[in-house]
Amino acid sequence: MRVTEVSFYKENCSLLPYLLVWFLSSILLSLTNRYAYGILHFPLLLHATSFHFFAQFLFGYWYTTYVDWKQYKDELSSSSSTSLFEQMPWLEYSEIALPLGIFAALDIGLSNMGMSLIPISIYTILRSATPLFVLFLSFWMGLEKPSV
């Protein structure tokens, strides 16, 4: 009986701590943004968004440079190829990452601006309805086919 509980956790709940940290940090960021933009009337919305992205870049660079490679160290040393990961050409990278980065920056920047204009309860309702908007737009654009 105990074996099935452990395997159930490994299969279904192993990401739960990470999800809880993500949800808590998301709530904390929303409340902090609401305080800064709504109550303090912080005037530099895009500057704050740029700072957030720069901090994410530094953390991502640190993680991929120093932390992430440790788990692949054995694979790299035992691999017959010179590199475990192939480098993506800059043109292909810019065609994929640049539009995603621009839209993510617009999403966060406009969300911060909207947070200063509406109550946080309405903001949370609208942000949580985003997957429904994406689903309906994908049906409308023909990217997904409705099924039961």
Find tokens 């440079």 and name the residue.
65
The predicted model gives 78-106 an average pLDDT of 73
| Spatial distance between the Cα atoms of 4 and 8, rounded to a whole number of angstroms | 6
| Spatial distance between the Cα atoms of 59 and 3, rounded to a whole number of angstroms | 38
The predicted model gives 10-32 an average pLDDT of 79
- The per-residue pLDDT for range 114-144, each reduced to its tens digit, is 777 888 788 778 878 888 888 888 889 888 8
Question: What does the pLDDT read at residue 94?
Answer: 83
- The per-residue pLDDT for range 25-67, each reduced to its tens digit, is 877 877 887 787 777 777 777 777 778 778 888 887 887 777 6
Contact 33, 115 (CB under 8 A): yes
